[in-house]
Amino acid sequence: MNDAFVEVVTESDLARRISQLGAELTEDYRGREPVMLGVLMGCLPFLADLVRATDLELEVDVLSLTRFGHDGRVSIMLDAAVPLAGRDVIIVEDIVDTGLTLTALRRALELRDVTSLATVALLDKAPRRIVDVPLEYRGFEVGDEFLLGYGLDWEGKFRNLRSLWAVMDLAALTQDPAAFAELVFGAPITR
Ligand code: 5GP
């Protein structure tokens, strides 16, 4: 059971790296007022921690995407409230995998006459990339395992884990999600 799930990035590793990313953004965007634009839902813990590590007069906003099929088509289901024309926009993503989603999002935002566009992704699954998309800031490069926690879900759950876990055996999770919950939350879930 314990071989099926491995904690790959601890809470303290996350805190350390996010404070470095915040310091880099503070330096690079000094004198500007960027919009930090989170991509729901996976961005939420990262966005909350990253903006508090960034000492700028920034604005925070979110949008939500719907993906169609497997060819990277996306549409914006919930749009940002802040008008983005003339703004320095920093996309905040949980993870870049194939790169298809980020490519489509960047294209959509470029049409809005933004002053600049950059992306910060907590995780970069570089080995799985199928389209070459600019990624200006990234927290960690990871392998191709399925990851959970710190915003990343399995069937809507486990986003609230404070660290990141790799699922080495997806069948084990599918067959017995309660066993994983017990491992990470420490007590059996009773219904
Ligand atoms: P891409 O278009 O780059 O292939 O996909 C990016 C999206 O796929 C992420 O925003 C995330 O929702 C999802 N994703 C990619 N890898 C993982 C993973 O390991 N775990 C989870 N929970 N979601 C992932």
Whether residue 92 lies inside any domain: the answer is yes
Say which of 97, 124, 132, 153 is annotated catalytic: 97
The residue written with tokens 């983005």 in the block is: 84
Whether residue 127 lies inside any domain: the answer is yes
179's CB contacts (< 8 A; 6+ apart) are 1, 172
> Is 34 near ligand 1, meaning CB less than 6 Å away?
no
Encode pLDDT of 9-65 as tens digits.
999 999 999 999 999 999 999 999 999 999 999 999 999 999 999 999 999 999 999
Domain around 64: 12-142
Encode pLDDT of 108-123 as tens digits.
999 999 999 999 999 9
Give me the pLDDT at residue 67, please: 86
Q: Is 88 a catalytic residue?
A: no
> Is 153 near ligand 1, meaning CB less than 6 Å away?
yes
- Choice from 46, 92, 97 to test ligand 1 binding pocket (greatest atom count within 8 A of CB): 97
> What percentage of the chain reaches a pLDDT higher than 90?
91
Section 149-176 average pLDDT: 96
Give me the pLDDT at residue 191, please: 58
CATH number at residue 68: 3.40.50.2020
Whether residue 57 lies inside any domain: the answer is yes
Section 157-174 average pLDDT: 96
pTM higher than 0.85: yes
Whether residue 187 lies inside any domain: the answer is no
C-alpha to C-alpha distance for 129 and 124, rounded to whole angstroms: 9
Whether residue 41 lies inside any domain: the answer is yes
Atom index in ligand 1 nearest the CA of residue 145 equals 19
CB atoms within 10 A of CB 163: 16
Whether residue 80 lies inside any domain: the answer is yes
Give me the pLDDT at residue 69, please: 77
Whether residue 174 lies inside any domain: the answer is no
> Is 42 near ligand 1, meaning CB less than 6 Å away?
yes
Give me the pLDDT at residue 18, please: 98
Longest dimension (CA), the chain: 53
At 154, is the pLDDT very low, low, confident or very high (cuts 50, 70, 90)?
Answer: very high
Give me the pLDDT at residue 115, please: 98
Domain count across the chain: 1
Whether residue 24 lies inside any domain: the answer is yes
Give me the pLDDT at residue 146, please: 96
